[in-house]
């Protein structure tokens, strides 16, 4: 039974989580992947036949569906999508509480696990972005918690719930397959000294079959779409198949291992990274089987991604990271509940200063935050970042109050034109069209500009030929200021005097 002090502590944890996730929620502008997913959600909301639209690009639709529902109640589509991630993160922080409690049988470890989730930067970043990875991670936390209960109890009700959680994960992202494949590894925790060993193993096998059946039955919902096959095609764009792997097993391994390790250290911060290694070593010595299971939950997908990943991003680390926080939570809970070890407590507190400083910068000045390079380019510094999008929208809306406006974008899929479609879809005086590549001004735009106010927005093209008939309207620096979003009005030359065009 939870007493009033425990309930008070839980309330403070949840409040802290919500504050850190909601403050300055849009300080990082929309970026390419968010624009795509949210545009899909917007289309799905407006047309029931588009509910599986994400499968056209090989993406599972659950996050899109949740975002679609949020858009019914929240006007700003970016805020709606990011709130879905925040509530997914809340589901995850509650899961960390139960996971830590179950792993150690100590409620203090549950609190510590939740606190680590709140303060470690990788979770803060992705809980505040409209991406599928936060939802996938939260479902993974609950899957791991239920897996520990399942292997210790072999209960049918736990198996049924676990099957549904994994099935929900499979509707979110293909990486949830690891949650299903991981279950046999939990046999490490199985009590092989129990009576009726054979009967219990057969019971485990039968319940595992039920978990597989439930999760795969839920996944079969996606076969309602004729684009179901696109999931496998999309996955192959990012991972090697077995034939490719066997031809050259180390094609990407060394580079991926190096990159993933550096990204993990940067997002955990290096002092916390070192503490996790120390706590894992300590737990494996103290409770070998539990420590090994928690390590393998991280190590198996980490190794698989290293060897099979063709294209990788830091966010791919997110779903596998919670398991290695549990040894640290157990370690820290033991240290801080001790009446001694004062210097060690101070040292550990100091170890979290870089993480807390990273958090503060994320919330207040993300341009100064020490993001891994790949994410800095995506979110802040390069063309996938949406700096300037809102300024363009304001100009277009202002012009469209009095007259028709034609908005052309450099790009036909991605940030442009999706970000503008999100916010301008209800503007009756605005027509939008994407072009790619824009090596020269399309004749259609030059013709359109003679009768209609016509703008073009560039996201990648940095050097604009001086002889193009363009008048600069906006030039917005991204992130560190090395690249720009530029908006021009097309001003075709007057040829009424019979001169050359």
Same domain, 372 and 445: no
Task: Say if pTM beats, i.e. exceeds, 0.85.
Answer: yes
Cβ-proximal residues to 129 (8 Å cutoff; 6+ apart), any chain: 28, 31, 34, 82, 85, 379
Domain with residue 420: its CATH number is 3.40.190
Cβ-proximal residues to 426 (8 Å cutoff; 6+ apart), any chain: none
**For residue 39, is it within any domain?**
yes
Do residues 390 and 29 make contact, with C-beta atoms less than 8 angstroms apart? yes
Q: Give the separation between CA 318 and CA 39, rounded to whole angstroms.
A: 24
Same domain, 326 and 407: no
Number of domains observed in the structure of the chain:
2
Same domain, 396 and 361: no
Give all strands (DSSP E) within 168-253, no chain letters: none
**For residue 11, is it within any domain?**
no
Q: Which of 317, 351, 377 finishes a domain?
A: 377
Same domain, 366 and 257: yes
* Strand order across the 470-478 sheet: 430-435, 405-410, 453-458, 483-490, 470-478
**For residue 21, is it within any domain?**
no
Domain membership of residue 475 as a residue range? 389-490
Do residues 412 and 434 make contact, with C-beta atoms less than 8 angstroms apart? yes
Token digits for 221?
Answer: 């919902």
**For residue 4, is it within any domain?**
no
Which residue, chain included where needed, has tokens 């940030």?
A: 415
Q: Give the separation between CA 357 and CA 120, rounded to whole angstroms.
A: 10
Q: Which of 330, 345, 377 finishes a domain?
A: 377
Same domain, 98 and 189: yes
Same domain, 372 and 435: no
Same domain, 273 and 398: no
**For residue 414, is it within any domain?**
yes
Same domain, 366 and 462: no
A 10 A CB-CB count for 113 gives: 29
Same domain, 288 and 149: yes
Give all strands (DSSP E) within 7-62, no chain letters: none
**For residue 498, is it within any domain?**
no
Same domain, 193 and 124: yes
Same domain, 33 and 81: yes
Q: Give the separation between CA 404 and CA 429, rounded to whole angstroms.
A: 4
Output the tens digit of pLDDT for each of the chain's 501 residues. Answer: 568 888 899 999 999 999 999 999 999 999 999 999 999 999 999 999 999 999 999 999 999 999 999 999 999 999 999 999 999 999 999 999 999 999 999 999 999 999 999 999 999 999 999 999 999 999 999 999 999 999 999 999 999 999 999 999 999 999 999 999 999 999 999 988 878 899 999 999 999 999 999 999 999 999 999 999 999 999 999 999 999 999 999 999 999 999 999 999 999 999 999 999 999 999 999 999 999 999 999 999 999 999 999 999 999 999 999 999 999 999 999 999 888 888 999 999 999 999 999 999 999 999 999 999 999 999 999 999 999 999 999 999 999 999 999 999 999 999 999 999 999 999 999 999 999 999 999 999 999 999 999 999 999 998 999 999 999 999 999 998 889 999 999 998 765 544 433
């Amino acid at each position: 039974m939870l007493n009033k002090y425990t309930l008070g502590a839980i309330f403070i944890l949840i409040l802290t989580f919500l504050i850190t996730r909601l403050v300055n929620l849009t300080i990082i502008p929309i970026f390419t992947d968010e624009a795509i997913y949210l545009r899909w959600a917007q289309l799905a909301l407006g047309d029931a036949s588009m509910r599986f639209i994400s499968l056209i690009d090989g993406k599972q639709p659950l996050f899109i569906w949740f975002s679609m529902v949020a858009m019914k109640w929240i006007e700003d589509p970016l805020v709606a999508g990011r709130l879905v991630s925040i509530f997914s993160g809340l589901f995850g922080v509650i899961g960390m509480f139960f996971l830590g409690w179950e792993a150690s049988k100590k409620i203090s470890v549950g609190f510590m696990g939740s606190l680590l989730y709140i303060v470690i930067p990788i979770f803060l970043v992705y809980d505040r972005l409209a991406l599928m990875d936060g939802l996938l991670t939260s479902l993974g936390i609950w899957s791991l918690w239920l897996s520990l209960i399942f292997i210790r109890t072999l209960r049918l009700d736990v198996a049924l719930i676990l099957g549904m959680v994994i099935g929900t994960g499979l509707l979110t992202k293909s990486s949830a397959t690891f949650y299903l494949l991981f279950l046999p590894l939990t046999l490490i925790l199985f009590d092989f000294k129990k009576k009726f060993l054979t009967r219990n193993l057969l019971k485990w096998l039968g319940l595992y079959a039920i978990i597989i059946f439930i999760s795969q039955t839920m996944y079969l919902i996606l076969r309602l779409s004729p684009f179901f096959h696109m999931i496998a095609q999309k996955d192959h764009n990012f991972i090697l198949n077995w034939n490719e792997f066997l031809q050259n097993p180390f094609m990407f391994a060394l580079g991926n291992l190096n990159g993933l390790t550096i990204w993990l250290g940067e997002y955990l911060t290096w002092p916390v990274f070192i503490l996790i290694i120390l706590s894992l070593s300590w737990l494996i010595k103290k409770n070998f089987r539990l420590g090994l299971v928690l390590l393998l939950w991280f190590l198996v997908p980490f190794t698989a991604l290293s060897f099979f990943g063709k294209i990788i991003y830091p966010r791919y680390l997110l779903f596998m990271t919670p398991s290695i926080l549990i040894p640290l939570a157990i370690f820290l809970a033991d240290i801080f509940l001790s009446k001694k070890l004062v210097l060690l407590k101070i040292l550990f507190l100091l170890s979290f200063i870089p993480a807390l400083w990273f958090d503060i910068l994320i919330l207040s000045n993300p341009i100064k935050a020490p993001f891994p390079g790949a994410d800095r380019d995506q979110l802040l510094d390069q063309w996938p970042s949406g700096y300037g999008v809102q300024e363009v929208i304001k100009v277009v809306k202002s012009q469209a109050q009095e007259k028709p406006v034609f908005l052309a974008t450099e790009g036909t899929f991605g940030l442009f034109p999706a970000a503008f479609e999100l916010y301008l879809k209800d503007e009756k005086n605005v027509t939008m069209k994407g072009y790619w590549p824009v090596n020269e001004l399309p004749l259609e735009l030059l013709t359109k500009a003679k009768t209609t106010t016509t703008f073009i927005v560039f996201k990648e093209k940095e050097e604009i030929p001086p002889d193009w008939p363009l008048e600069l309207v906006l030039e917005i620096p991204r992130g560190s200021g090395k690249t720009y979003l530029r908006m021009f009005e097309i001003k075709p030359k007057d040829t009424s005097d019979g001169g050359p065009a």
